[in-house]
Chains A and B, each alone.
Chain A
Amino acid sequence: DAGVIQSPRHEVTEMGQEVTLRCKPISGHDYLFWYRQTMMRGLELLIYFNNNVPIDDSGMPEDRFSAKMPNASFSTLKIQPSEPRDSAVYFCASSHGLRYEQYFGPGTRLTVT
């Protein structure tokens, strides 16, 4: 198995631009999670899906952030408009019914200038 796949691996954009991060979970996994990691705030859960349905988005910082999962093999996290404070590493993770064992993708390092 290829593991969780994320793209792009690095993204540099200017303030105000739209950013779309992509994730392909491990085949057969029914839970998908989006996290953000910064030095100041650590690893934060933004939103998670079960069987493509958003279950909890209480971690999404504000309306500029949105996430979708149109099918079992693809999810996106969109930031519009982006701001410098959104600079972070964004991880996607998936799991199969085991809440405690999540498989993380390599992350997308986002820099907003």
Chain B
Amino acid sequence: KAGVTQTPRYLIKTRGQQVTLSCSPISGHRSVSWYQQTPGQGLQFLFEYFSETQRNKGNFPGRFSGRQFSNSRSEMNVSTLELGDSALYLCASSPNALTGGRPGEQYFGPGTRLTVT
């Protein structure tokens, strides 16, 4: 099976702009989670989608949003970008119990490196 893919891999934006990142999960995985990774804060959970519904949400401002499509592909959007939004954004998909998945077993993509100038 193909792994989790994320596009684009690198992105440079200026403050105040908005950005949309895309994630394609592993085939058959219906749960997609997003994380932000920075040297200072580490890996932080943004949100999780399952069957097109946001099921879990982290402690990020409303500028961060996401959605999931019927084919389980997901996008996240960051509006009014700030310098502090520069980070590696990771997407992960998860199998469920019926398909032999283990709790907390997530498959991560390579990430999108966002730089805000």
Q: Do A and B come from one complex?
A: no
Binding site for B on A (CB under 8 A): none
